[in-house]
Structure 1
Amino acid sequence: MDTKFFVSRRKARGLSQAVLCEGICTQSTLSKFENNTQVPSLPILRQLCERLDLSIDDLDEERRRSDWLRHQLDWTEEELMVENYQRAKQLLAAIPTAEITSTTAKMQYSYLQGLLVTLVGAADTTALFSFTRILDELDEEHQTIFAQLAYLGEGILYARRRALDQAAFFMAKVKTYLEQLTEQSDPHGDNVNNARLLTMVYYLAEYHALIKEYDQSNKYLDQGLTRCAQEHVTYFLPRLKLLAAQNALETGASPAVVIDNLLDARAFARLNHNNTVLVQSMSLIKHYQDLLAGKPLDEGNAK
């Protein structure tokens, strides 16, 4: 039991031993606990913790450290979703890999490491090792969502290296997984997995746009936008709308359609602090201003 954490919390609150234990136990009982000589009864310990806005579980150093690691991994994943690659890199680098003990956390770390180096154009070998570790070691049966994310990561890597045959092989696995999910009664699950499914949908849309299959790309964009609305997830809305605008541009849609999507991309980028999409959308909006009869660009002009 981490009594040092308990004592530091008491001192941070500016409470003396006498004040903290008043009405709960004797100061001697509290002193023995803080000096690691005797743990008080569970009811007394619970009341002392509640007075410090703690739970008894908070005194479990190993559990508290595990919670921090999980939070750090989830935070890194969020930063990747909004394309804040520098911050994601910093967060991931701060994680002591020797302390990652659960298989799930190891898979999440490997996935994030592989995807990050893929998206920033770093060493291919690092990305491939990270994804292969999931598929060949941590999830040999390929039963978890991280196996599908590893397939996706390899597909993205090969697509961006223009190795399209290899990219198609891995993207096909991700497509099959998503198609099977739609046949289930409850394909959604928790918010974290919803965001991961959106990751798959977005990069499938990006892949099909890359190979100029815009109908397929737009199909996945529609799926992504529908899922965002149904599950109240906004991380991918800026990127979905920006890609929709780029697809509209490539397929010869009217400037108004392009700008309508760009305006949405700009608004959602501001909401989600996605500076990458914000800069891209504002640049494209400026480019299209002259196509709207020189009028100031606002939501009314795009209708």
Structure 2
Amino acid sequence: MKSLGEAIKAGRLKKNMTQQELAEGICTQATISNIEKAGKIPAITLLLAIADRLDIDIDELYYLMGENTTKNGKIIKKVKVLCSQSNHKEAAALLKEINEAELETINEKKEYYYYKGITSLVAFHNFSDALFYFNLSNDTQGEGYISIYDVLGLSGVSIAYSMNDEDEKALVYTERTLNILDEFVAEGYEKSDTNDIVRTYFNSAKIYSKMKNYEKAVSLSSMGIALQQL
């Protein structure tokens, strides 16, 4: 298979599905057409839904999706999928294949450190390693704009403190996270960032709920729901 679009079309035809049937409940028929014919790259959640409906291994599609990226880029994309599926231990093992010295861009470094942090925290409950990597991500100077990993890095610190029952510190970083998230959203963002934004609202809501600020928790949850519905 030469491209992601060809792989999806082949899987659809194997199932004797029309584009409309594949799209039903997932996206529009036009979106499937754009993926198959124009080589459009779908968001991760959309790709997961398509792979599930076609009974295609997500890894096969994801490698095709990253066909023209670097080796490290392909690994990070696969790590992102694994984390979205709550396979953090497998993601952590895959991250070991990355040579940190070969990371070329600021964003690659921020992504790498963030995923090192979140896998340390979720898979192994290693609070100190998680904070170390989240702070590395946050301390890596940006490229003149706010990226989703500027948001996620701060959110990671707040989650780590909350899991360690250092709730006051967690609240400080949650407030910082929401401030930078407001800036990120105001500047405009890619549709593929939506799930990370919604997840940030949800994780922030959990921390406010733990602090018994239920009004704020409900407000943040409502914002996340509204954004997902859009």
Normalised by the size of structure 2, how large is the TM-score?
0.62
The structural deviation recorded for 1:87 is 2.5
Confirm whether residue 154 of structure 1 aligns to residue 157 of structure 2: yes
Distance 1:157 1:140 in 2: 26
The structural deviation recorded for 1:110 is 0.2
Report how many aligned residue pairs link the two structures: 165
C-alpha distance 178-138 of structure 1, shift in aligned 2 (>3 A): closer
Question: Which residue does the alignment assign to 1:72?
Answer: 75
C-alpha distance 133-140 of structure 1, shift in aligned 2 (>3 A): farther
| Structure 2 contact 146–184 (Cα < 8 Å) conserved | no
C-alpha distance 107-181 of structure 1, shift in aligned 2 (>3 A): closer
SS at match of 2:140: helix
Q: Deviations over 1:240-279 (max 9, x none)?
A: xxxxxxxxxxxxxxxxxxxxxxxxxxxxxxxxxxxxxxxx
Distance 1:141 1:135 in 2: 14
| Structure 1 contact 202–220 (Cα < 8 Å) conserved | yes
Distance 1:193 1:88 in 2: 19
Question: Which residue does the alignment assign to 2:226?
Answer: 226
Could you tell me which amino acid in structure 2 is paired with residue 74 of structure 1?
A: K
Question: Which residue does the alignment assign to 1:111?
Answer: 114
Distance 2:75 2:202 in 1: 24
C-alpha distance 78-205 of structure 1, shift in aligned 2 (>3 A): farther
The structural deviation recorded for 1:66 is 4.1
Question: Which residue does the alignment assign to 2:199?
Answer: 199
Distance 1:92 1:192 in 2: 22
Q: Deviations over 1:193-237 (max 9, x none)?
A: 22321231121122123223333222222222222221xxxxxxx
Unaligned runs of 5+ in 1: 1-62, 231-303
C-alpha distance 103-202 of structure 1, shift in aligned 2 (>3 A): same
Distance 2:217 2:80 in 1: 24
Confirm whether residue 190 of structure 1 aligns to residue 190 of structure 2: yes
Confirm whether residue 85 of structure 1 aligns to residue 85 of structure 2: no
Could you tell me which amino acid in structure 2 is paired with residue 101 of structure 1?
A: E
The structural deviation recorded for 1:121 is 4.5
C-alpha distance 77-194 of structure 1, shift in aligned 2 (>3 A): same
Distance 1:205 1:165 in 2: 15
Pairs within 5 Å for 1:253-268? none
| Structure 2 contact 161–169 (Cα < 8 Å) conserved | yes
Structure number with greater Rg is 1
Distance 2:104 2:73 in 1: 11
Could you tell me which amino acid in structure 2 is paired with residue 151 of structure 1?
A: L
Normalised by the size of structure 1, how large is the TM-score?
0.48
Question: Which residue does the alignment assign to 1:129?
Answer: 132
Distance 1:148 1:135 in 2: 9
The structural deviation recorded for 1:155 is 0.5
The structural deviation recorded for 1:103 is 1.8
Pairs within 5 Å for 1:261-300? none
Question: Which residue does the alignment assign to 2:167?
Answer: 164
Q: Deviations over 1:159-185 (max 9, x none)?
A: 111111111111001111233455x3x
C-alpha distance 93-192 of structure 1, shift in aligned 2 (>3 A): farther
Unaligned runs of 5+ in 2: 1-65
Could you tell me which amino acid in structure 2 is paired with residue 197 of structure 1?
A: I
SS at match of 1:120: helix
Could you tell me which amino acid in structure 2 is paired with residue 107 of structure 1?
A: K
C-alpha distance 68-190 of structure 1, shift in aligned 2 (>3 A): farther
Which moves more between the two structures, 150-159 or 216-225? 216-225
